[in-house]
Structure 1
Amino acid sequence: MALNIRQMEILELARATGRVAVEELAERFDVTLQTIRRDLGELADQGELDRVHGGAVLRSGVSNIGYEQRRRMNDAAKSAIARACAAEIPDNSSVIINLGTTTEAVARELLNHRNLTVITNNMNVANILVANDSCEIMVAGGALRRSDGGLVGDLTTEFMAQFKPDFAIIGASALDADGDLLDFDMAEVRVSRAIAGLARRTFLVTDISKLERSAPVRIIPMSEVDSVFVDAPLPPDLARQCVEWGTQVIVAPPRR
């Protein structure tokens, strides 16, 4: 079935933000809620979106959304999360930063920090922090993933194993309701696991929409994370679990 113009615009909005809401779409297109629900149903039937309560999200699966698309999604949320995370990183400290568009947002917020040592397997992070002339940047070797500037593989993991930084800043492609961090690429996951196990403190940076996505490979449980930086409160059950685990949750809502 061919998409109508409104459905194509809805799909573009979903690709830009990661999710769409029925009420907001009805107001935007000046149509009834039922019309929007029917549009979302048809988009779901064609495999473009997954229905969730109150709207729809980009379809999850066994492969990740493209890098450029991910970079544009939830930009305000990522910026808020990044500011909150960077505020917890003192000058004169060492930091490992892994792959992801949210970790790249953290790198931008570290540009005014002084005397940092940053170890990364993310070429985008390295290129961002080049502008900070007091920052020492150490880039892992490994196989370059051209799609997003990531370095992965056994060589990357071996390189990371040489360090014991003050902080690890990690992202994830999805979060499970029980608190597991999930991703798509096994080679990337091996590096992320190594990074989380090296640092004195591990920070997870993620927007709340990751709870509406799925990915097939488990990274680590949230119980192994010291602090979670997120743009909205976690679901009550998961929030209670974080208290039991001793995992701090820092909510940083986007600026209006």
Structure 2
Amino acid sequence: MARSHRQDQILALLKARGKAAITFLAEEFDVSDETIRRDLKSLSGDGLVEKFHGGVRLSMPRSEPPFERRLSENAAAKAAIAARTASHIREGATLLLDNSTTACFLARELTRREPMTILTISLEIAQILNAGGGQHRVILPGGELRKADRTLTGAGTISYLSGFSPSYFVMSVVAGSARGCQDFDLFEVEFKRAMIARADETILMMDHGKFSKSGLIHVCDWSDVDVLVTDGAPPEIAEQIDHGHLLLTGDPAEPLAGDRT
């Protein structure tokens, strides 16, 4: 049986959070607990979720944490998007990277670049940059460590990073539609909104699969995105990006700053 729009949203929320209480889901989607239980019964029957007392989680192998699983999803597309993004970043720039899996692929690309100053809320990204040669200056904010994806979170995290004005803020989101970019995590939405306002240029990295997904919280409009890097964007979204600010993985990359004559 085809899933409903709300069931797709529940699955996307669980991918972002790992698990959730029935009461939380009912409040988020403004329906009764019984309605949520009916949605979950169908999802459970399809083997997509596992119910426990008072809540639900995604069905997944116990040996593979959610973040590790997301790293392997659409890996080829994410690697291509990261390479295209790296080619756009000029020499000597200051970058702020979010905690997305695509940003992890970008961090790997940046280990082959000249020294830069890189800020991030992700310990995973900081470790990639350090292990790759350590030529970059890496700055981490304070905050509470979220174990699931090794992300630093909290109001103090955003406050600290708001003191910087990076050349680029590079981010990803859970979903994109003609109405803009969406996510599920309240902290990450607040973080992204604050950093978009601080950066000279906001780069959104997004594989084509995310354009068919749904999100719960509006992050920003397409007019807030300076550059969209993707392996394919729907026409109704591509037309909202200024000409020349849509970078496709199949297009030739512009030369690095040090290679221009």
Question: Could you state the TM-score of these two structures normalised by the residue count of structure 1?
Answer: 0.71
Q: Is the 8 A contact 1:153 1:188 kept in 2?
A: no
What are the ranges of 5 or more consecutive residues in structure 2 without an aligned counterpart?
Answer: 1-14, 16-41, 50-57, 60-64, 252-261
Query: How many angstroms apart in 1 are the aligned matches of 2:67 and 2:119?
Result: 21
Counterpart for residue 201 of structure 2: 201
Query: How many angstroms apart in 1 are the aligned matches of 2:216 and 2:244?
Result: 24
Residue 121 of structure 2 is aligned to residue 116 of structure 1: no
* Residue 211 (structure 1) shift: 1.1
Q: Secondary structure at the match of 2:139?
A: strand
Q: Is the 8 A contact 1:170 1:196 kept in 2?
A: no
Q: Secondary structure at the match of 2:88?
A: coil
Q: Secondary structure at the match of 1:242?
A: coil
Query: How many angstroms apart in 1 are the aligned matches of 2:45 and 2:87?
Result: 44
Q: Is the 8 A contact 1:183 1:219 kept in 2?
A: yes
Counterpart for residue 235 of structure 2: 236
Could you say if the C-alpha distance between residues 231 and 159 of structure 1 is closer, same or farther in structure 2, counting changes exceeding 3 Å?
Answer: same
* Residue 219 (structure 1) shift: 1.2
* Residue 185 (structure 1) shift: 0.8
Residue 249 of structure 2 is aligned to residue 248 of structure 1: no
Q: Is the 8 A contact 1:166 1:200 kept in 2?
A: yes
Question: Could you state the TM-score of these two structures normalised by the residue count of structure 2?
Answer: 0.70
Q: Is the 8 A contact 1:226 1:247 kept in 2?
A: no
Q: How does 1:100-139 map to 2 (within 5 A)?
A: 100-130=100-130, 131-139=132-140
Query: How many angstroms apart in 1 are the aligned matches of 2:221 and 2:154?
Result: 22
What are the ranges of 5 or more consecutive residues in structure 1 without an aligned counterpart?
Answer: 1-14, 16-41, 50-57, 60-64
Could you say if the C-alpha distance between residues 189 and 45 of structure 1 is closer, same or farther in structure 2, counting changes exceeding 3 Å?
Answer: same
Counterpart for residue 143 of structure 1: 144
Runs of 4 or more above 3 Å deviation: 42-45
The aligned amino acid for 1:151 is L
* Residue 91 (structure 1) shift: 2.3
* RMSD (Å) for aligned C-alpha atoms: 2.6
* Residue 132 (structure 1) shift: 3.2
Counterpart for residue 54 of structure 1: none
* Residue 112 (structure 1) shift: 1.4
Could you say if the C-alpha distance between residues 186 and 237 of structure 1 is closer, same or farther in structure 2, counting changes exceeding 3 Å?
Answer: same
The aligned amino acid for 2:147 is R
The aligned amino acid for 2:240 is Q
Q: Is the 8 A contact 1:183 1:217 kept in 2?
A: yes
Could you say if the C-alpha distance between residues 129 and 212 of structure 1 is closer, same or farther in structure 2, counting changes exceeding 3 Å?
Answer: same
Q: Secondary structure at the match of 2:163?
A: coil
Deviations, residues 5-51 of structure 1 (Å, cap 9, x unaligned) = xxxxxxxxxx9xxxxxxxxxxxxxxxxxxxxxxxxxx98973739xx
Q: Is the 8 A contact 1:177 1:211 kept in 2?
A: no
The aligned amino acid for 2:187 is A
